Structure 1
Amino acid sequence: MSLSVVWNNEQEEHEINNELIVLLESILQKAGEVEGLDEGEVDLTFVDNERIHELNLEYRGIDRPTDVLSFAMNETGEDELEIIYAVSEDEDEDQDEVPNVLGDIIISVTRAQEQALEYGHSLERELGFLFVHGFLHLLGYDHQDAESEAEMMAKQEHVLAQVGLTR
């Protein structure tokens, strides 16, 4: 097994083409290398500002759109339920293992377009930045203080530089 992206497009503002997905898969591989992770699945969904606003309000209690949301599947907090996969006795033992789903990343393409213009770089660079940012959140990174924010930013920029997405 390896790191993989399963993606879904729920917005109509920007075409999500194969070149973008290949770029994001490359970013995932580089970020995985940096973190010493070589297998797992990331579910990525592209949405518009309206949908991410709804999700931000529902899950974070913040009544405005945001650029990216991450929902980790492997968190081990005291309120987290253990996920147990049932396998039928009739199934072959050779069957592929259940993938290690790291979690969901949801990106507002609308907000990414706005930020790309604001920062003066390409939409692909902004989507790549948001994707690696979300991926690091899935692994437990956060940016609640200056030190942790600097650590995340350095990791993000390092990965993006490796795939040629500099400012």
Structure 2
Amino acid sequence: MPESTDDLFCDFVRTRSAALLRTGFLLTGDRHLAEDLVQDALARTHRGRRRLTDPGHFEAYTRTAMYHLHVSRWRRRRIVESMPGEMADVAAPGSDHAHRTDLKLALHEVLARLTRRQRAVLVLRFFEDRSEAEAAELLNCSVGTIKSQTSKALARVRHLAPDLLSAVTEEG
């Protein structure tokens, strides 16, 4: 007996929530905002679940909703983001795990200091491995905007953390 759309949607939420939260965190730079973003996107997907003919479309629909919600939030009145200060270095030197953790923390800190648009563009282009055209379509802007925002974001990353890009490249 084939599963109902509701059962397929529940399975999707159960299996893909962690990946969606990671993307949401990279977009927002905040765990709580990421949870809100994913929850809102899943609510939209749930409302449209009957129109989605293939359960595989749930993920694409949800991710697109996340990007659109994120864009609409940055277009609203700006909320001032504040950095709570420098992160304490508690990792043991020389440890591979410690190095990877330091790298992740540095990356998250730098992403948090970018504008929402720059962060969204970098997440789409490099984390989601989207083309410029795909990113432009998802963010409802031109390819030129994607190119300029990518350039500005990478320049800002180079300025804020000059060694970060080379360290990320070395890590693969």
**Higher share of residues assigned helix:** 2
**TM-score, length-scaled by structure 1:** 0.33
- The structure with more strand, counted as a fraction of residues: 1
Using the size of structure 2 for normalisation, the TM-score is: 0.32
Pick the structure with greater CA Rg: 2
Question: RCO (CA 8 Å, sep 6+): is it higher in 1 or 2?
Answer: 1
